[in-house]
Chain A
Amino acid sequence: MRYVKPESFEAAATLLRNEDGIARILAGGTDVLVQLKAEMVEPDLMVDLKHLPGMRDIVAEDGGFRVGAAVCGAEMGEDAALKAMWPGVVEGVELIGSSQVQSRATMAGNLCTGSPAGDSVPAMVTAGAVARVQGPDGVRDVPVVNIPTGPGKNSLAKGEFITSIFLPARPDNASDAYLRFIPRTEMDIAVSSAAVSLALDGDGVVTDAHVAVGAVAPTVLLVKEAGDTLVGSKLDDAEIAGLVSAVEAACNPITDKRGTIEFRTKTAGVLAKRAAHIAYSRAGGQA
């Protein structure tokens, strides 16, 4: 394996495009080093990009935040302004792994690794986050929801990688929340998860709602029907029931060592309901 620290994003893209063997990008390393250890992959080229400009920065932009692809979870959690604007996104990121993993794991890595159970992905999706992708032919912006395409797969072309993720501005009276189900209290992969992002009017009526669920399909799902159900409501029982059934209907999980189809479906609905109440309360709504 060769280890390379390219001098620019462009050089990195060219290097990656021209690599004939297996190439991996080193961000936090918390997935790729596990794969190395398990002999699941033996890369010929490891490209370290953490030193490139902006990779480690969180900067305000257009009323939102641009988060560099090598910013670790702990750094996001320590950024009070970011956390105040997107508490659900940050709590999702902060749930990835242990304190040790938080010092390394990144939102971009969690996205690119393509796991349907990635803890940061549902709330990024409900936030409408956009990934900035560098490729050999330049830069493009891609909605986060379009990056993962299946377990372990993403839509990035050869030579492409994410340099930052943009979390857009959020209106007043709006907030988000993320919850996951794990068997223990820490250190597990989500068996199911849900993120909800809500905006309210001055009376506490939902004007905009997005719901995404994780670990219940090959990719994180944005469940449009579930969000639509909540619009115009104050999260009364009927709308919550509608949310739960829309989520359950959207689930298409598998049974494996971590959970059954039934369990994942049922708990995804429960988590969406609970996350909706948290987001509502954070947005200033009175339940």
Chain B
Amino acid sequence: MAFDAQAKRNFKVVGTRVTRPDGIDKVTGKAAYGADIAAPGMLYGRILRSPHAHARIVSIDTSAAEALAGVKAVVTGADLAQPDDEDFADVAINCLARDKVLYDGHAVAAVAAKSKSIAKQAIRLIKVDYEILPHVTDVDAAMQPDAPVVQEGRALETVPAGMSQNVTTHCQFGHGDLDAGFAKADKIIERSFKTAATHQGYIEPQACMASLGSDGRGEVWCCTQGQYMVRANCAAVLGVEESQLRITSSEIGGGFGGKTSTFIEPVALALSRKSGKPVKIVMTRDEVLKATGPTISSSMDIKIGMTKDGRITAARGELRYSGGAYPNGTVNMGAQAAFAAYDLEAVETVGWNAMTNRPKEIPYRAPGAPTAIYAVESVVDELCQELGLDPLDVRLMNAARKGTVSSYGPTFNDIGLVATLEAAKAHPHYTAPLGENQGRGLSCGFWFNFGGNTCVSLNINDDGTVGVVEGNPDIGGSRASISMMAAEELGVPYDKVRTVIADTSSLGFNDITDGSRVTFAVGLATIEAARAAIKEMCSRVAKIWDIDEDAVIWEDGCAKPAGPNAGTHPPMTLAEIAAIAGKTGGPIAGHHEVNADGAGVSFGVHLCDTEVDPETGATKILRYTVFQDAGKAVHPDYVEGQMQGGAVQGIGWALNEEYIYGEDGRLQNAGFLDYRVPVASDLPDIETVILEIPNPGHPYGVRGVGETPIVPPLAAISNAVSRAAGGRMTELPMSPPRLLKAMTG
């Protein structure tokens, strides 16, 4: 859908800072999240997990568990279907392993019992005979031809023959003559980088309540980023029909991509089917870290050539990602995003994915992009240092802009990178003085943003209020922004609109809440649904006034005659039209179903000052500013919130968060004590500067904003630390032992 000419109008609701509709429930403890409901007669489910990184399951004996008083069902992988579709099949064996366990924490069996403590005892009574297999957890090791093979026969046709069977994906992007480009460079820097896997770290563990009858009819209540995705996965994994499953998404306690897959819902349904009772499963934090999706781990080589005045002549990147124990395409996005911020004559990125004995990667905010852009922005920064150039000027000189052929193929339309860089340059932060052991870093960030399948129903109620029904779980305030767009379009006050999230039986299919798509795509569908309702209201009024439908216009929440020729009818408000809807033709509603496209890419720039303790390797973030093109910011508070939250997740990735595996292939830090997400005292204020470059693909100019902010912090902090420490850091996280070693040798 094209950018609306109307967008130049003065918005009345969009752009204000209204109070969110779900707020009171959330500050009073009333809001119901995944673990917050109970059902009559419900059982408690619990999952037995592999203690081994890689092993063949020789046998599972559940008889003792089944015999324990209070145990009502025990299930194993044999109780789930084996879908033909590879993606569904992977979900199935990840929910409950079949022949092999592929990582420490892989689910093997599950029980449902009358109490949590009986379930705990029953789990210990299940005897699994494992044949331990050699394991591999490092991506570079996994690519070696003699590496232990995680799964056989999973390579795509693009992978050259002769490589380790762990290599499943190969991709290559770019254009231009690299050799000629590098020949023109005055300085070439080539460096290798490694980054650890990190977890989304949502505070609410996965939780569900499920009920499935022998007739194949079932209900699930769960915290998820997509109830329709849960339905599809459960239907495939249990061999039941989608129409018979009704999935209701609870309030969701954070996701960041991590709740775009299914781990426990099919298991709870299988237990329920077997026991005939509703089954509740709530993951522990330990299970969340061991068995739900972290992001990829990576190993990368970047080579960039630059002239002495700062023009990049050629750039090449090779990315080796591991998405855990299953084939994974995240490297495709990393390879496409790596050089997206630059206008390059010659560029190439090559990507590989290798399987390792780690949990299945699940997308985490801008999946694939943060690590690739970290490596690229680190080399650009080092070139600036070596050549004595201002890093912002160099970014501006080489910045992608409208008409740039992007490093991943398409030619950019209207993008906000240059404006964002200029805003950073003009900001007082960029020229503030620095003290001893302090350094300033900056980085660009990028994300594609998605649209996708979306349904919205908008109902005009008889008292003149409006109900919006949409199908995407509200993860960061989207019910507010959707209500705002409906109010804007209809010309009614914000508080006259209530938006609810439908269960899967109450609205047509919606893609998951991902890729920063909801405010864009659901917003777009809401505006279209409102327009359909307006059209209907105008048509009713035309009948009342006995004039042509075209002679009625909608303005400020009222139907009005289009001009003098239409007669002199007093405007009719939405409430007046709604009140007599039964007399004029029945209930009034608008709806819109679309696979929305034209999401419009988003760029950001982050500035960061750090101080490094030269005696301990401790890094302190002194000052942090985020600049981002948000398109039209529908609710500026929540746009800022996305920018701040994403930045802090990136700060955690840069400094302390990591999956640490022992020699035995077991995860050593499956808890918030040693998986160290940033705490309040680690951080300064996160200042935000929103730029509003309208997205031509949305009627109000909206762009997704959620993902881009996690991209720049990795390099911004690494560049600041490298400058403060006087040496280039090439590994994340820059934990104090690593940094001290780099500084003192």
Contact = CB atoms under 8 A, between A and B. Distances in A.
Interface of A: 37-39, 181, 183-189, 191, 257-260, 262-263, 266-267, 270
Given A257-B660, A258-B674, A259-B737, A181 B120 contact: no
B735 interface: yes
Contacts of A185: 679, 681-682
B679 A184 contact: yes
Contacts of A263: 617, 736-737, 740-741
Contact of A187 (B615, B673, B735): B673
Contacts of A270: 615-616
Contacts of B616: 181, 267, 270
Contacts of B679: 184-187
Given A257-B660, A257-B668, A257-B674, A186 B681 contact: yes
B461 interface: no
A191 B736 CA distance: 10
B12 interface: no
Query: A39, A185, A259, A260 — which one has the most chain B CB atoms within 10 A of its CB?
Result: A185
A259 to B, nearest CB: 5
Contacts of B682: 184-186
Contacts of B731: none
A183 B676 contact: yes
Nearest to A271: B616
Q: Which 4 A-B pairs have the closest CB atoms?
A: A263-B737, A185-B681, A270-B615, A257-B668
B637 interface: no
B618 interface: yes
Nearest to A183: B656
A31 to B, nearest CB: 12
A143 B660 CA distance: 38
Given A181-B616, A183-B676, A262-B741, 12 more contacts: A181-B736, A183-B618, A183-B656, A184-B679, A187-B672, A188-B673, A191-B737, A257-B674, A263-B736, A266-B740, A267-B616, A270-B616
B735 A183 contact: yes
Contacts of A267: 615-616, 736, 740
A270 to B, nearest CB: 4
B286 interface: yes
B192 interface: no
B745 to A, nearest CB: 11
Contact of B669 (A184, A191, A257): A257
Query: A38, A183, A259 — which one has the most chain B CB atoms within 10 A of its CB?
Result: A183
Interface string B668-692: 1100111010110110000000000
B213 to A, nearest CB: 34
Interface string B7-42: 000000000000000000000000000000000000
Interface string B617-659: 1100000000000000000000000000000000000011000
A259 B674 CA distance: 11
27 contacts: A39-B120, A183-B735, A183-B736, A184-B656, A184-B678, A184-B679, A185-B682, A186-B682, A187-B676, A187-B679, A188-B676, A189-B674, A191-B736, A257-B669, A258-B674, A259-B737, A260-B737, A262-B737, A263-B617, A263-B737, A263-B740, A266-B615, A266-B740, A266-B744, A267-B615, A267-B616, A270-B615
A267 B614 CA distance: 11
Contacts of B618: 181, 183
Nearest to B614: A270
Contacts of B735: 183
Contacts of B286: 38
Interface in B710-745: 735-737, 740-741, 744
A44 to B, nearest CB: 14
Contacts of A187: 672-673, 676, 679
B620 to A, nearest CB: 8
A9 B673 CA distance: 34
Query: A39, A191, A266 — which one has the most chain B CB atoms within 10 A of its CB?
Result: A266
B80 to A, nearest CB: 27
Contacts of A38: 286
Contacts of B284: 37
Contacts of B736: 181, 183, 191, 259, 263, 267
A270 B679 CA distance: 25
Contacts of A184: 656, 676, 678-679, 681-682
Query: A191, A257, A262 — which one has the most chain B CB atoms within 10 A of its CB?
Result: A257
B434 to A, nearest CB: 21
B615 to A, nearest CB: 4
Nearest to A98: B679
Contacts of B668: 257
Interface in B210-227: none
A215 B669 CA distance: 18
Contacts of B740: 263, 266-267
B673 A189 contact: yes
Contacts of B678: 184
A145 to B, nearest CB: 26
B51 to A, nearest CB: 13
Contacts of A188: 673, 676
Query: A181, A184, A188 — which one has the most chain B CB atoms within 10 A of its CB?
Result: A184
Contacts of A186: 679, 681-682
Contacts of B120: 39
A205 B617 CA distance: 32
B48 to A, nearest CB: 13
Contacts of B673: 187-189
A188 B679 CA distance: 10
A121 to B, nearest CB: 18
Contacts of B741: 260, 262-263
A173 B302 CA distance: 59
Interface in B80-129: 120
B668 to A, nearest CB: 5
B721 to A, nearest CB: 14
A185 B669 CA distance: 18
Nearest to A255: B737
Query: B669, B674, B737 — which one has the most chain A CB atoms within 10 A of its CB?
Result: B737
A183 B679 CA distance: 11
A187 B655 CA distance: 15
B667 to A, nearest CB: 10
A181 B736 CA distance: 10
Interface in B116-149: 120
A49 B284 CA distance: 30
A270 B613 CA distance: 11
A183 B284 CA distance: 24
Contacts of B676: 183-184, 187-188
B472 to A, nearest CB: 33
Contacts of A266: 615, 740, 744
A181 B673 CA distance: 15
Nearest to A256: B668
Contacts of B660: 257
A191 B616 CA distance: 11
A94 to B, nearest CB: 14
A183 B735 CA distance: 7
Nearest to B615: A270
Contacts of B737: 191, 259-260, 262-263
A96 B740 CA distance: 25
Nearest to A185: B681
A270 B615 CA distance: 7
A188 B678 CA distance: 11
Nearest to B671: A38
A137 to B, nearest CB: 37
Contacts of A258: 674
Contacts of A257: 660, 668-669, 674
Interface string B323-351: 00000000000000000000000000000
B733 to A, nearest CB: 9
Contacts of B669: 257
A255 to B, nearest CB: 9
Contacts of A189: 673-674
A13 B324 CA distance: 52
